[in-house]
Structure 1
Amino acid sequence: MNTDISPEQTIVLAKIRHIEELERLDTCIQFVESIGQIIHQVQAERGASCLYLASAGKRFAPERADIISHNQATEADFRQALQQHLHLDLLTDARQLTLISWILLGLDQLVALRHQVTLQKISFTDCMESYSRLISSLIALIFEISDSSVNSKISTCLLTLYNLVQTKEFAGQERAVGSYIYGSGSVQQAHQQRLLELIDQQDRHIELFCQFGNQELRTAWDKLQATAPYRQHQQLRARLTTAKDHQPLKPSDADIWFDLCTQKQTSIWQLQCVLIQKMHDMLEVLTHKARHDLEYTQEYLQAISAKATPASTLDGTFFNLSIPVESALSFQAHDSAQAYPMASMISLLQQQSRQIADMESELSDTRKALSERKQIERAKGLLMSKLGIDEMEAYKTMRNLAMEQKRKIIDVAENILTQQKLPS
C-alpha cells in the first residue's frame, strides 16, 4: 500500500478542513438559535408564574397554562436540536457537556417546579431564582460556544449575542419583579432594591452589546429606545424605583407593566433573530469563498506541477537558500528583488500563513474579552462562596471596589483571584 503523502495533499486538506470548520460553525449557530428560543419561552413562563403567585393564584392562570403547553413543545425541539448538535459537532468539549448535563437536569425538574407554582407551595423569590438558574445555565452555554469558535467574525457576533441575551434576561427578571410588586399592591424595599440592581445589569450588558455590535445593531437599539411603549415602560419603572417602602400601588397596573415589558422582550428577541440571521449569512459567504479558494488552490497546484523543475534543482523549494527563513515561514509579502518565483509552493504556503495570521489577529481581541469575562465570573463565584452572598451582591462588591480604587473591574477580579492563591 502506498503511504506517501505530499505537500500538495496537505495544503488541499487544510482548505477542506477550513470548509468543514465553517460548516461546523453553522450547526453551532443553529443550536444557539434553539437555545435562544427556549430561553425566550422560559422567560415568558417565569413572568407569568410570578404574576400568578403575586395575585395568590387569582390572575394569569389561563395565560400561564397556555405558555407551559407551548413550552413543552419548545423543550422537545431543544432536545432534538441538542442531539443533532452533539452528533454533528464532535469537538464539543467536556466543559460544554457538563453544562449541558446540568441544563438537562433542570429541564427534567421543570414539571415539579411548575406543580409547586400551581399549588402556590413556593415563594415568589424561590420561584424566580429557580427559573433564573435554568436560564443562566442556558446563557452560559452560549458563552461556552462563543469561546470555542475559531472564526473571529463569528466569535465577535456570538459575544454580541451573549450580551444581548444577558440584557434580555435581566429585563425578563425586571418584568417578573415589577409584576410581583404591582400585583401585590404595595412596594417592598427588598424587591425595589432588586429592581435597581437588575436595571444596572441591563445597562452594563447593553453597553457591551453596543461595543461589540456593528452600527446596524446599535441603530436598532437606539430606535427601540425611541418607541412609545419603551418610554411608557420607563415611566412605570421610575414609579417603582422612586416609590417609598410600603407605598400602595394599583394592582391593575401589573397587566400594563407586564405587557410593556413583554413588548420590550419581543423587541430584543427580534434583535436576536437579526443577529442570528447575520451569522448564517456571514457563514454562507465565508463558506462560498472557502470553496472557491479550494478550487483555485487545486488549479494552482496543477499549474505548478505542470511546470515542475527537475528534482535536482532547488529553485522555488524548501532548500532554496535565497529565501530567508523568516520570509518562507512567516507572513511577509513577496519581495520582487528575490530570486525565487511567486508561482511556487512557498508562495502558496505564505499566502495561507498570512490568512491564518489575519484570522488569529482578529480573534485576539474577542478572546481577550472572553477571557476577562471568565476571570470576572470566577472572582464573582469566589466572593459568593467566601462571603455567602448572591451573584448580584458579589458583582456590586467588585464594582464598588473598582470605583473606590479607580481601577477596571477586571483588575479587581484578577486581584481577588491572586489573593486566593496566596498562602494564608
Structure 2
Amino acid sequence: MSTSPVGHPPARLRAQDFILASRQSEIAGLQQLLHTGELVTAVSALVHCLQRERGLSNILLSNRASPPARGLPHALTDTDAALAALHLPLAQLDRAHPQAGNLSRLFNRVAGALHALEELAALREANRGPTADRAASMRRYSDIIARLLGVVFEAADGCGNPAISRALIVLFSVMQGKELAGQERAIGAAGFAAGTLDDDAHRQLLDLIDGQERCAQTFLTFAGPALQAAWHAGPGQGNPAFERLRRILCAGRLPPEGDAVQAWFDITSARIDAIRGVEDHAAAALNACCRAALAGAQQALAAQQLSLAPAEEAGYTVLLATTPGGEEARYSTGPLGAPLGRAILDVIQQQAQHLQQLSAELTTLRASLSERREIERAKALLMQHRGLSEPEAHKALRSLAMAQNKKLIEIAHALLAVETVLAVRGEDAR
C-alpha cells in the first residue's frame, strides 16, 4: 500500500477520480463477461461433442455389431479436441479476484464440471469392457453434460448486464433443449439397436419430449427476431420422418429390421445439428453483445476523460435528481469551476440513470430465473412424495394453478412453504 512522504498530506481525491474509476470498474467487469461468453461458447462445443459420443456409445453397448457404432472413434477425437479448446477461455478468467463480477459461484460450477470431466477416460475404458452397462454409461455421460450446462446457467444467473444476461438465458435454453434431444437420440438408438424399449426408457422418452417443448418456449420468449426466425426455419419446422419414428418408439412396437437404428440416428443427428446451428447463432449473438457493451463502455470512458478537464474556479448548485420520496437532491460544485462542475454532475446523473435502468432490467431477468428454479424445486417435491415423473409433476402443478386461478409460481411457492413448515415441525418433534 503506497504512502505519502513524511510531512506531506495525501493527494486530494476528486469527484472525477471516482467517476472514472466507476467506468473503469464497469469495463473490467465487461471484460470478464467477454471471457465468460467465450467460455460458454467453448462449453457449447464440448457438450455437442459429448452428446454425439454418448449416442454412439449407447448404440455400441446395445448392439456392438450395429454399423453406426463405427463412428465412435472419430467422435472421441472430436471430444478430445473440444476439451483441449476449453482450457484457453478458462485461463482467461480472473481467478485472482473471484469476487469481481460475482465469479466465485461460477468458479465453483467450473470446478464441478472439470472434476466430472476427469472421469471421462475411466468411463470410456469401462465401455470397452464386456460387462459394460448401457444405462450406467448413459447416466455418467449425462451427469458430465449436466455439470457443463450448470456453468452456463450460473453465468446467466450471475451476470450483471441485462442484455448479456438475456443472451445467456437464450443460449442456455437452446443448449438444454439440445441436451434433451441428445438424450432422446441415445435412448431411441439403443431401443432400435436392441429391438425393444423397456418401461423405464419409455417413460423417460416421454419426459424428454415434454422437456424439449418447454425449453423451446423459454427460448422463443427471450430470443430476438433473428434467432426466432432461425429456429422456425430450422428445428422448429418439424420433420415427418422423425415424427414417424418417434411415434414408433412411443408406441413400443419397434421394427425387426436393422435399418431403423441407422435411420433414427441419422434423422435425430440432423435435427440436433439444426439445433446446433441455432445454438451457434445464439453464441455468436452473446459474444457480439459482450463486445458491443465493452466497446460502448470504453467509448463512454474516453468521452468522460475529455469532458472532465480542469476549469476556472467558480461555484454553483445544481438540481441533480429527485429521490424516491420526492425530495430534491441538490449538489454544490464548491470551488470547482462551472464547466467542470457541470460536466461532473452531468456524468454522475447519466451513470445513476444507467445503473437504475440496469438494475430494473436485471430484476426482471433474475425473477424469471428464480421462478424457473422454484418451479423445478416444487416439481422435485411432487416427484419425491407422490412418485410422479417430471412431466406428471409439471402437469399436476399446472392443473392446480388452473383450478385455483393462480400462477404456476404461486402454486410452487405454496408447496415449498408447506414443505418448510413440515420440516420445521419435524425438527420440533425431535
- TM-score, reference length from structure 1: 0.86
The answer on 1:191 being equivalent to 2:191 is no
- Maintained 8 Å contact 1:33/1:276: yes
User: Residue 118 of structure 2 is aligned with which of 96, 99, 108?
Assistant: 108
Partner Cα separation in structure 2 for residue 328 and residue 352 of structure 1 = 17
How much does 1:120 deviate? 4.3
Is 1:283 matched up with 2:287? no
1:333 is displaced (CA, Å) by: 12
Where 1:372 maps in the other structure, the secondary structure is helix
* Equivalent residues of 1:183, 1:252 under 8 A apart: no
Q: Which runs of 5+ in 2 are unaligned?
A: 5-9, 331-337, 426-430
Say which of 169, 172, 175 aligns to 1:159.
169
Q: Equivalent of 1:13, from 4, 11, 21?
A: 21
Distance verdict in 2 for CA 1:408–1:184, change over 3 Å: farther
Greater Cα shift, 177-186 or 68-77: 68-77
What does residue 7 of structure 2 align with? none
Distance of aligned partners of 1:333 and 1:253 in 2 relative to their CA distance in 1, 3 Å threshold: farther
Residue 402 of structure 1 pairs with residue 398 of structure 2: yes
Change (3 A) 1:308 1:377: farther
> Are the counterparts in 2 of residues 31 and 81 from structure 1 also a CA contact under 8 Å?
yes
CA change 1:329–1:419 in 2 (3 A) is: closer
The reply to whether residue 234 of structure 1 matches residue 243 of structure 2 is yes
Output the CA distance in 2 between the equivalents of 1:331 and 1:186: 73
Deviation, 1:327, is 5.9
The 3-state SS of whatever aligns with 1:174 is helix
CA distance in 1, matches of 2:73, 2:181: 22
- Kindly indicate whether the alpha-carbon contact (under 8 Å) linking 1:328 and 1:350 is maintained by their aligned counterparts in 2: no
For the structure 1 residues 289 and 78, does the alpha-carbon distance in structure 2 shift closer, same or farther, using more than 3 Å as the test?
A: closer
Q: Answer whether contact 1:331 1:354 (CA < 8 A) is retained.
A: no
Aligned equivalents of 2:97, 2:167: Cα separation in 1: 19
In structure 1, which of residues 301, 308, 325 is the aligned counterpart of residue 313 of structure 2?
308
Provide the C-alpha distance between the structure 1 equivalents of 2:145 and 2:104, rounded to a whole number of angstroms. Answer: 20
Contact 1:46–1:128 at 8 Å: present in 2 too? Answer: yes
Q: In the alignment, is residue 200 of structure 1 matched against residue 243 of structure 2?
A: no
Q: Of the candidates 24, 43, 47, which is equivalent to residue 32 of structure 2? A: 24
What is the aligned counterpart of 2:389 among 383, 388, 393? 393
Cα distance change, pair 79–324 in 1 and its aligned pair in 2 (3 A)? closer
Q: Quick one: distance in 1 between partners of 2:206 and 2:415? A: 25
CA shift for structure 1 position 354 = 0.8
The 10-residue stretch of structure 1 (127-136 or 165-174) with the greater mean CA deviation from structure 2: 127-136
333 and 239 in structure 1: CA distance in 2 versus 1, 3 angstrom threshold: farther
Aligned AA for 1:159? I
Q: CA deviation at 1:221?
A: 1.0
Which deviates more, 146-155 or 62-71? 62-71
Letter in 2 for 1:74: A
| Residue of structure 1 in register with 2:333 after alignment | none
AA aligned opposite 1:101: A
Residue 50 of structure 2 is matched in structure 1 by: 42
Q: 1:405 to 1:86 in 2, by over 3 A?
A: same
* Structure 1 position 360 matched with structure 2 position 359: yes
Q: 1:168-187, CA deviations, whole angstroms, 9 ceiling, x for partnerless residues?
A: 00000010011111111234
Q: Could you list the per-position Cα deviations for residues 163-216 of structure 1 after superposition, in whole angstroms to 9, with x for gaps in the alignment?
A: 100110000001001111111123434322221111100000000000000111
Structure 1 distance, partners of 2:83, 2:74, is 14
SS in structure 2 at match of 1:306: coil
Identity %: 25
Aligned-pair CA distance for 1:56: 4.1
Cα drift, residue 260 of structure 1 = 1.0
Q: Give the match's secondary structure for 1:343.
A: helix
Consecutive unaligned residues of structure 1, counting only runs of 5 or more, are 335-339
SS of 1:24's partner is helix
Cα distance, 1:115 vs structure 2: 1.7
In structure 2, which of residues 70, 74, 89 is the aligned counterpart of residue 81 of structure 1? 89
Q: Specify the code of the residue in structure 2 equivalent to 1:9.
A: D
Task: Name the Cα RMSD after superposition.
Answer: 2.9
Verify the 8 A CA contact 1:47 1:175 in the aligned structure 2.
Answer: yes
Q: Does 1:128 align with 2:133?
A: no
Is 1:263 the counterpart of 2:270 in the alignment? Answer: yes
**Matched residue SS, 1:122:** coil
Query: What's the CA shift for 1:256?
Result: 1.0
CA contact (8 A) 1:186 1:249 kept: no
